[in-house]
Structure 1
């Protein structure tokens, strides 16, 4: 019971830590005060953290694996950027004009921004924290019915807070065209149905690939996406196409090599370390010191996870093959 509670709390804290703080997004409007950052973190725990936990619990309770988790993560990204913050449709979102490049007037979106921001949520906001915490605590479900109900309510409150803050804070109030909201909502619903009913894969297959190869894929592909997003001298249409090719190529290589999910997440997490630090440099000494602490915490987490893992935490000395058997047995007993 205590172990599963610790796992759930670790995930609800790690998701916003990665999604907003390690990325350096708290510096978008200058270095905020400590109290403001704590308030931001609490809201992001309610929004990102509860979403990551519910996505992960849904997949594992259904006996599903990463295709389900990543599809639900894509639905979350579209929910946030299409319906709540509406950054996919707001031409002056946060005053940074993210839709100017590769603007598609018929849809009201910017091609590079759409590909980039949705990939961020799938890979970093949801996928990376889930993979790291599961590497520490295992793949069995962590919540009972009361826990599911509690975090569902927290997520709804987080959605309301995210929507109201996005609506009221910024250069100007913005509301998307009703047709855009309807289409985005339908796609979100379709992705949820696809994730729940469209995949029949087992919860996991024993990784066959090398962990260092997975780490290299996560770091190289993640860094490549971040560098492409900063490449302003190229056509935005080519930029969006290159992003899609990179994502597709990385997915194909991962499917072929099947490295451990944690190794991919480790490479992705280190990508955010340099991205967030690069953002902090422009905000002065206080931001640099703060971001250095966040990066140190992220690296320490990776080291602890790599050294200990779920077997050591459980106090069991088993081979990797036996570990998958334990996970399957725990899933069955928990669901029953």
Structure 2
């Protein structure tokens, strides 16, 4: 295997993370491509590090999910201060019905941040890229030198985001909020490193078909974003909070159980990621770009990015099907 082939999934993940996290969401347009490029070290570096750490430790998806949640809190709580800064562009979810004075932010905003980054910025890009390299899905992609390089790139990207936001807002959260977010991040990291590798036991029952899983992922994630957008005040905001909690408490354990099924395969993992990705494709159209700009450019950008996402999903779908067929052939 050539060096280019070895690094291809790393580069793919490095690029896909900011694409899904910012462009596909509709937060950035084609006109703001340079900004997205500057965000790649943070998003892409974070996704690569989460994936490499989890695969090296053998913690699998539970470990990746916990580290992804820690990443989400680091980005929005420590670096750009979105969780605490009421003047942050486009944020109006502070003093609403889910606002907690002791936290200095709202429950809805914290949940939104975790959903945005843990699921879409980190986990979905990892799942899609791993689909393209089934033979290397559970193995590290980088050596020590590569891991150190990505770590440096990530730290530089984090510093850029922190100083960029500080220069714009001149805002730093009070010490108790920084301690609070630091404690939460440390807790998530400790929990992640406590995860032990598990060999599939085959006791997960029969997994639903990939089509059902993909449709359920699309409907569930779409319902969450629609519910969270119903209202930013009063009881309506609690609908999104309740649905987010329901997904975490009920649906996530169900998926973990199905993943232990003997018929669970690449198409199941891909379908979950694909369904959630398609949610961003439609969600981008009502989302107002962070930097504003022309409505025409916004709509054109959403169409271009959505089409690119569909192409990636089609290619990944074929790769997942080939992988499952090859596995079935080996088991015969």
Per the TM superposition, whether the score is higher than 0.5 is yes
- The answer as to whether partners of 1:216 and 1:267 remain within 8 angstroms in 2 is yes
Map Cα deviations across residues 80-134 of structure 1 (whole Å, 9 max, x no partner).
Answer: 1110111111122215322122211111011111112212211111111000000
Q: Which string of whole-angstrom CA distances, capped at 9 and with x for unpartnered residues, describes residues 258-278 of structure 1?
A: 362211000000000001123
Aligned residues: 310
Report 1:92-241 matches (<5 A). Answer: 92-94=87-89, 96-101=91-96, 102-138=98-134, 139=137, 140-169=139-168, 172-196=169-193, 198-202=194-198, 208-232=207-231, 234-235=234-235, 236-241=237-242
Q: Distance in 1 between matches of 2:298 and 2:19?
A: 15
CA distance 1:64–1:289, shift in 2 (3 Å): same
Q: Equivalent residue of 1:319, what SS?
A: helix
Rounded Cα–Cα distance in structure 2 between residues aligned with 1:76 and 1:201: 21
Which stretch shifts more, 103-112 or 206-215? 206-215
Kept in 1, the 8 Å contact 2:73–2:113? The answer is no
- Give the Cα–Cα distance (whole angstroms) in 1 for the partners of residues 146 and 201 of structure 2: 28
Q: State whether residues 225 and 240 of structure 2, in contact with CA within 8 Å, keep that contact through their aligned partners in structure 1.
A: no
Distance 1:217 1:257, change over 3 A: farther
Q: 1:177 to 1:310 in 2, by over 3 A?
A: farther
State the TM-score, normalizing by the size of structure 1: 0.85
Distance 1:161 1:267, change over 3 A: same
Q: Report the equivalent of 1:16.
A: 18
Distance (whole Å) between structure 1 residues aligned to residue 13 and residue 214 of structure 2: 21
Return the offset for 1:210: 1.8
Query: Distance in 1 between the 2:329 and 2:82 partners?
Result: 44
Structure 1 unaligned regions, length at least 5: 28-32, 324-336
Post-superposition shift, 1:41? 1.9
Q: 2-side partners of 1:82 and 1:297: how far apart?
A: 31
Q: Per the alignment, in what secondary structure is the counterpart of residue 19 of structure 2?
A: helix
Q: How does 1:1-336 map to 2 (within 5 A)?
A: 1-26=3-28, 34=31, 37-94=32-89, 96-101=91-96, 102-138=98-134, 139=137, 140-169=139-168, 172-196=169-193, 198-202=194-198, 208-232=207-231, 234-235=234-235, 236-258=237-259, 260-279=268-287, 283-309=294-320, 318-320=326-328, 322=330
Q: Give how far 1:64 is off.
A: 2.0
| Structure 1 CA distance for aligned equivalents of residues 20 and 83 of structure 2 | 21
Which residue number in structure 2 is paired with residue 333 of structure 1? none
Q: Find the residue that maps to 1:93 and give its secondary structure.
A: coil
Distance 1:194 1:240 in 2: 23
Residue segments in structure 2 that go unaligned for 5+ positions in a row: none
Q: CA RMSD in A?
A: 2.5
- Shift in Å, 1:26: 1.6
CA contact (8 A) 2:83 2:105 kept: yes
